Amino acid sequence: MATIRLGDVAPNFTAQSSEGQINFHDWLGDGWGILFSHPADYTPVCTTELGTVAKYKSEFDKRNVKVVALSVDGVESHKGWINDINETQNTTVNFPIIADEDRKVSELYDMIHPNADSKLTVRSVFVIDPDKKVKLIITYPASTGRNFDELLRVIDSLQLTAYHKVATPANWNNGDDCVIVPAVADKDIPELFPKGHKVVKPYLRTTPQPNLD
């Protein structure tokens, strides 16, 4: 069983999906991506999750993030389930669902945790950057639906901190002040952060979010 850690290159794979065959790296292109797994088709929590992702797709698009789901059932099952999702969640599924009947992708990404269930995937989430590096891994039990507002918040943080020398503090939301990373010397702050900064402690320095006008 593979173990994937932050900073690893996301393993590539080719698989069938509800929107045809996908080569994962080619499909991602030069943008960001989210791969998230579901224990099985026609399950109640997953139905609400996929409906939510469909409704949030414009928010992911704004951030140049592609989303793709995975379930261990087949394409025809996915297509029938999509009809149910559209009906019950009052939306239209607008992203692919990977068919992983042989569990090759699930095993590649360590999505099956035998002490939870020997056959079904846990609710895994992988956020992948344009270099195909894994930037975030979250694992939920099958019983707990994901918070997609939190995933958007995390993506905002990942994209901000990838291009600016800041980190985001607890409960940060887009638009809040950020923390200047310790590697930035005090003498370099005025040039890097012209909006100003505040020194709370020598190791805790804050600045307005640098990528906002």
Active site residues: 46
3-class SS of residue 56: helix
Q: What is the DSSP string of 6-17?
A: TTSBPPP-EE-B
Q: How many CB atoms lie within 10 A of CB 91?
A: 17
HEC-encoded secondary structure of 59-94: HHHHCCEEEEEEECCCHHHHHHHHHHHHHHHCCCCC
Q: Are residues 55 and 85 in contact, defined by beta-carbon separation less than 8 angstroms?
A: no
Enter the tokens of residue 41.
């088709």
Enter the tokens of residue 160.
């901000």
Q: Alpha-carbon distance 203 to 182, whole Å? A: 6
